[in-house]
């Protein structure tokens, strides 16, 4: 049996089946996997009770499905290809058997360090094979992995450690990123001095860059030393279908980052199913996703999706512009990459470097190219199509979110008709609707509205770690009975979907999701800041840039802007640095004290003629003042 869709008629048939009888549809898909014990109920719960379960009472381990299951037929096939930051450094290859051995050994090491089923393990690492191995090692023993992207600061890391009550951290001494070294272990040390991180008992340190680090004798353990003498045999823990597989922190419109909780069986089925059908990878192809495992894309489409389908995956440690802007294309040529999956921000940045970089290399191996993370603009779509895909590779523009676990709306490569900048059609199991301001479903085909989902799919987020109330509030309270994505969307006359971007206070900077409230909090930490308001504005390369309007006290010096940036770097990390900071005398507030961000967004976008109704403002004059000081460049 297989769950591969091979043509558009089958897509339509499968889509209809998945809507008419979701339970029998997903049961058939799930039967392709290895289970220790079969489920008793395919699906229960809904978007009203917020108690969604898939494959209830089933028992399984996702690593059996990623690794052991393929050993009889693929033991010596390539599972993981690691490409280092420096083009001079030799690559590393792991067959399925070798990867299974590494994962088993590492799993035994974690057990020996005291990690038990259900414990949370934070992975704060660069893109080295040991990261992917550690992810799977956690999954093998039922520990909850929580990967924290290496660009987050000590404070941000500490917040996640505290929220997860993590028992153990795995890190590198440092990570290569282009010509820089990120001092990961030092950042862990700094985080662990902060309040709230007392749960951490051990820090395992993998040496990658050989910089000087401190090893705290009771707490820190060298990766190699810890793994010495460990057995290569580690039977996989039999997990309940709804046990937590991982949490991954992401930003919302309010409050601290949320630990998005995904559970074993539903996530597995969704990651596997969507990978297989969107990318259509065949034997002897080589698929490469350029994301970092610190984000959901790296979980679902570097780690789990490919391996679950017995396909090889590529991990690239470096950045697209090091040593120069042809690095991606050198890799495509050298390894004859057939499937290439990246973010619009990378495409735009490389487009800006000039065509000579993309024209130097032979890209004829490419068959399918993908885009993820943010809306792709028309110019970037066409450049990608012409210069990279040479007009012969379908572009799969994949819309999804950390919360959805996997791709939701996307063309299936070589199956779905393409339309520039359209994510096109929903995958089987996905029932998108557009709601108007009143929360009514818009029934006309051609429409624009807020994108919601009508029915649970296997990969949907199950909870927010430690705060189920917030889960209900965030996703199911805006439009009762629906899952609200936070995105706006258009549907054309053929029913094709085009995502227009966030409609809430989340900004998408280079495909990184950043909450305006979080940046405001970081700016407010500065003692000379009275109040800050942060909005996104259109940015040529990053998609959106961060614009901060800040009221400061009389004591602020001319260094205030630098200090504000330093504060954001300290509390969140360099990815959330404001691009523009405007010092203002006041912020536009309603009589009830709410900041009117709508106006600030207009000013930041240099749209000065259409503020709409500002009569409810407490002090309409501040608008003039802010307008006259707007940073336009
Ligand atoms: C938000 C989710 C999906 C994994 C990486 C980002 C935006 C994502 C697209 C796309 C237009 C997109 C949405 C979404 N987004 N993919 N193909 N077209 N917008 O995951 O950090 O959870 O962010 O990214 O606004 O809500 P994330």
Q: What is the DSSP letter of 610?
A: -
pLDDT of 457 > 90? The answer is: yes
Phi, psi of 261 (to 5 degrees): -100, 125
pLDDT of 612 > 80? The answer is: no
What are 10's two structure tokens?
């089958």
10 Å Cβ neighbour count for 203?
21
Query: What distance in angstroms lies between residue 598's CA and the mean position of ligand 1's atoms?
Result: 22
**C-alpha span between 557 and 545 (Å, rounded):** 25
Q: Is the CB of 345 under 6 A from ligand 1?
A: no
Q: What is the DSSP letter of 110?
A: H
**Residue having the nearest C-alpha atom to atom 7 of ligand 1:** 374
Distances (CA, A) of 348 to 343, 383, 387, 572: 9, 9, 12, 25
pLDDT tier at 590 (50, 70, 90 boundaries)? confident
**Residue having the nearest C-alpha atom to atom 5 of ligand 1:** 373
Tell me the pLDDT tens digit for each residue of 573-587.
999 999 999 999 999
Query: What distance in angstroms lies between residue 409's CA and the mean position of ligand 1's atoms?
Result: 11
What are 294's two structure tokens?
């610190």
Q: Is the CB of 475 under 6 A from ligand 1?
A: no
pLDDT of 317 > 70? The answer is: yes
What are 281's two structure tokens?
């990878």
10 Å Cβ neighbour count for 247?
25
**C-alpha span between 571 and 607 (Å, rounded):** 31
pLDDT tier at 593 (50, 70, 90 boundaries)? confident
Q: Is the CB of 604 under 6 A from ligand 1?
A: no
**Residue having the nearest C-alpha atom to atom 17 of ligand 1:** 399
pLDDT of 128 > 70? The answer is: yes
pLDDT of 364 > 70? The answer is: yes
pLDDT tier at 254 (50, 70, 90 boundaries)? confident
Percent above pLDDT 90 for the chain: 95
Query: What distance in angstroms lies between residue 245's CA and the mean position of ligand 1's atoms?
Result: 22
Query: pLDDT value at position 594?
Result: 86
What is the dihedral angle through the alpha carbons of 563, 565, 570, 575, rounded to the nearest 10 degrees?
-170
Query: What distance in angstroms lies between residue 399's CA and the mean position of ligand 1's atoms?
Result: 6
Ligand 1 nearest atom to the CA of residue 371, by list position: 17
In a 10 Å sphere around its CB, with 0-12 CB exposed, 13-18 middle and 19+ buried, how is residue 392 labelled?
exposed
Tell me the pLDDT tens digit for each residue of 264-292.
999 999 999 999 999 999 999 999 999 99
Query: pLDDT value at position 136?
Result: 99
Q: Is the CB of 402 under 6 A from ligand 1?
A: yes
**Residue having the nearest C-alpha atom to atom 12 of ligand 1:** 374
Query: What distance in angstroms lies between residue 134's CA and the mean position of ligand 1's atoms?
Result: 26
Per-position DSSP letters for 292-304, written without gaps between them: -TTSHHHIIIIII
Q: Is the CB of 61 under 6 A from ligand 1?
A: no
pLDDT tier at 56 (50, 70, 90 boundaries)? very high
State the average pLDDT over residues 307-318.
Answer: 98
Query: What distance in angstroms lies between residue 499's CA and the mean position of ligand 1's atoms?
Result: 9
Mean residue pLDDT of the chain comes to 96
Q: Is the CB of 249 under 6 A from ligand 1?
A: no
Ligand 1 nearest atom to the CA of residue 296, by list position: 4
Query: What distance in angstroms lies between residue 242's CA and the mean position of ligand 1's atoms?
Result: 25
**Residue having the nearest C-alpha atom to atom 14 of ligand 1:** 401
**C-alpha span between 432 and 446 (Å, rounded):** 14
Tell me the pLDDT tens digit for each residue of 371-425.
999 999 999 999 999 999 999 999 999 999 999 999 999 999 999 999 999 999 9
Q: Is the CB of 250 under 6 A from ligand 1?
A: yes
Ligand 1 nearest atom to the CA of residue 502, by list position: 25
The Cβ-side half-sphere exposure at 476, using a 13 Å CA radius, reads 22
Query: What distance in angstroms lies between residue 468's CA and the mean position of ligand 1's atoms?
Result: 23
**C-alpha span between 123 and 133 (Å, rounded):** 11
CB-CB contact of 133 with 234 (8 Å):
no
What are 456's two structure tokens?
């649970």
Tell me the pLDDT tens digit for each residue of 195-229.
999 999 999 999 999 999 999 999 999 999 999 99
Q: Is the CB of 237 under 6 A from ligand 1?
A: no
Q: What is the CA radius of gyration of the chain?
A: 24
Q: Is the CB of 404 under 6 A from ligand 1?
A: no
pLDDT tier at 93 (50, 70, 90 boundaries)? very high
**C-alpha span between 296 and 444 (Å, rounded):** 33
- Tokens 């191995």 belong to residue: 133
pLDDT of 609 > 90? The answer is: no
Query: pLDDT value at position 15?
Result: 98
Cβ burial 26-56 (10 Å sphere, 16+ → b, else e) = beebbebbebeeebeebbeeebeebebbbbb
Distances (CA, A) of 13 to 10, 151, 240, 408: 5, 44, 31, 17
Query: pLDDT value at position 499?
Result: 97
Test site for ligand 1: of 450, 513, 514, 544, most ligand atoms within 8 A of the Cβ: 513
CB-CB contact of 178 with 142 (8 Å):
no
Outline where DSSP puts E strands in 440-577: 447-453, 463-464, 483-491, 497-502, 506-509, 512-515, 529-539, 543-552
Of 36-45, 351-360, 374-383, 593-602, the poorest mean pLDDT is in 593-602
Q: Is the CB of 398 under 6 A from ligand 1?
A: yes
Partner residues linked to 83 by β-bridges: 316
pLDDT tier at 253 (50, 70, 90 boundaries)? confident
**C-alpha span between 159 and 64 (Å, rounded):** 32
**Residue having the nearest C-alpha atom to atom 18 of ligand 1:** 375
Query: Residue 178: left (phi > 0), alpha (psi -120 to 50), or beta?
Result: left
Query: pLDDT value at position 225?
Result: 98
Per-position DSSP letters for 304-331, written without gaps between them: IHHHHTT--EEEE-S-TTSSSTTHHHHH
**Residue having the nearest C-alpha atom to atom 19 of ligand 1:** 374
Tell me the pLDDT tens digit for each residue of 154-209.
999 999 999 999 999 999 999 999 999 999 999 999 999 999 999 999 999 999 99
Test site for ligand 1: of 508, 518, 575, most ligand atoms within 8 A of the Cβ: 508
Q: Is the CB of 39 under 6 A from ligand 1?
A: no
Q: Is the CB of 536 under 6 A from ligand 1?
A: no
**C-alpha span between 354 and 339 (Å, rounded):** 23
pLDDT of 50 > 90? The answer is: yes
pLDDT tier at 1 (50, 70, 90 boundaries)? low
Q: Is the CB of 513 under 6 A from ligand 1?
A: yes
Q: Is the CB of 514 under 6 A from ligand 1?
A: no
Based on DSSP, count helices (H) and strands (E) in the chain, helices before strands.
Answer: 21, 30
State the average pLDDT over residues 598-616.
Answer: 86
**Residue having the nearest C-alpha atom to atom 13 of ligand 1:** 374
CB-CB contact of 422 with 289 (8 Å):
no
pLDDT of 613 > 80? The answer is: no
Tell me the pLDDT tens digit for each residue of 528-582.
999 999 999 999 999 999 999 999 999 999 999 999 999 999 999 999 999 999 9
**C-alpha span between 66 and 80 (Å, rounded):** 12
Query: pLDDT value at position 359?
Result: 97
**C-alpha span between 356 and 353 (Å, rounded):** 8
Q: What is the DSSP letter of 241?
A: T
Query: pLDDT value at position 476?
Result: 98
**Residue having the nearest C-alpha atom to atom 2 of ligand 1:** 401
Distances (CA, A) of 34 to 38, 72, 268, 406: 9, 13, 11, 20
Which among 535, 543, 541, 633 has a CA at the least distance from the CA of 584? 535
**C-alpha span between 122 and 567 (Å, rounded):** 24
Distances (CA, A) of 149 to 155, 223, 267, 291, 605: 13, 20, 21, 11, 29
Distances (CA, A) of 186 to 156, 212, 608: 14, 9, 46
Phi, psi of 40 (to 5 degrees): -105, -25
């Amino acid at each position: 049996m297989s769950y591969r869709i091979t043509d558009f008629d089958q897509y339509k048939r499968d889509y209809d089946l998945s809507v008419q009888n979701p339970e029998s549809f997903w049961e058939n898909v799930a039967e392709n996997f290895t289970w220790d014990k079969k489920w008793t109920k395919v699906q229960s719960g809904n978007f009203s009770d917020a108690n969604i379960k898939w494959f209830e009472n089933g028992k399984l381990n996702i690593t059996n499905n990623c690794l052991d299951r393929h050993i009889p037929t693929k033991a010596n096939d390539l599972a993981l290809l690691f490409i280092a930051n420096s083009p001079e450094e030799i690559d590393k290859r792991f067959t399925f058997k070798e990867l299974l051995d590494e994962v088993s050994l590492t799993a035994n090491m974690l057990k020996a360090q005291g990690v038990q089923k259900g414990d949370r393990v934070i992975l704060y690492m660069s893109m080295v094979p040991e990261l992917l191995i550690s992810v799977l090692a956690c999954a093998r023993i039922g520990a909850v992995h929580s990967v924290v992207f290496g660009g987050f600061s000590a404070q941000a890391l500490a917040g996640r450690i505290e929220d997860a009550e993590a028992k153990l951290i795995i890190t590198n001494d440092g990570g290569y990123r282009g010509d820089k070294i990120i001092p990961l272990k030092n950042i862990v040390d700094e985080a662990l001095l902060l309040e709230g991180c007392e749960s951490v008992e051990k820090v395992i340190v993998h040496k990658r860059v050989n910089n000087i680090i401190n090893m705290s004798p009771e707490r820190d353990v060298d990766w190699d030393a810890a793994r010495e003498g460990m057995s290569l045999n580690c039977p996989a823990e039999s997990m309940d279908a709804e046990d937590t597989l991982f949490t991954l922190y992401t930003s919302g419109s309010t409050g601290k980052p949320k630990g998005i909780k995904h559970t074993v069986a539903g996530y597995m089925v969704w990651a596997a199913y969507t990978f297989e059908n969107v990318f259509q990878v065949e034997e002897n192809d080589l698929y490469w996703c350029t994301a970092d495992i610190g984000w959901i894309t790296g979980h679902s489409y570097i780690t789990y999706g490919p391996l679950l389908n017995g396909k090889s995956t590529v991990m690239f440690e470096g950045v697209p512009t090091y040593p120069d802007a042809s690095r991606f294309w050198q890799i495509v040529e050298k390894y004859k990459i057939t499937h290439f999956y990246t973010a619009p921000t990378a495409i735009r940045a490389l487009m800006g470097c000039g065509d000579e970089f993309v024209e130097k290399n032979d890209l004829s191996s490419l068959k399918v190219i993908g885009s993820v993370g943010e809306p792709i603009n028309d110019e970037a779509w066409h450049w990608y199509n012409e210069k990279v895909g040479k007009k012969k590779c379908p572009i799969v523009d994949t819309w999804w979110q950390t919360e959805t676990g996997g791709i939701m709306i996307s063309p299936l490569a070589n199956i779905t008709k393409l339309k520039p900048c359209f994510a096109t059609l929903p995958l089987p199991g996905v029932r998108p609707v557009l709601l108007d301001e009143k929360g009514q479903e818009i029934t006309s085909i051609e429409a624009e509205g807020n994108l919601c989902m009508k029915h649970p799919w296997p990969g949907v987020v199950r909870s927010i770690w430690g705060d189920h109330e917030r889960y209900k509030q965030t996703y199911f309270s805006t439009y009762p009975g629906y899952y609200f994505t936070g995105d706006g969307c258009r549907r054309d006359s053929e029913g094709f979907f085009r995502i227009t971007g966030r409609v809430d206070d989340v900004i998408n900077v280079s495909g990184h999701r950043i909450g305006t409230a979080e940046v405001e909090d970081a700016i407010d930490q500065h003692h000379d800041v009275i109040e800050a308001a942060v909005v996104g504005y259109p940015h040529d390369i990053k998609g959106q840039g961060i614009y901060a309007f800040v009221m400061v006290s009389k004591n602020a010096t001319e260094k205030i802007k630098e200090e504000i940036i330093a504060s954001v770097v300290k509390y969140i990390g360099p990815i959330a640095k404001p691009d523009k900071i405007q010092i203002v005398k006041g912020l536009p507030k309603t009589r009830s004290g709410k900041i009117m961000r709508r106006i600030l967004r207009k000013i930041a976008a240099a749209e000065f003629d259409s503020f709409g109704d500002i009569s409810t403002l407490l002090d309409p004059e501040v608008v003039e003042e802010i307008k006259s000081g707007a940073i336009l460049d």
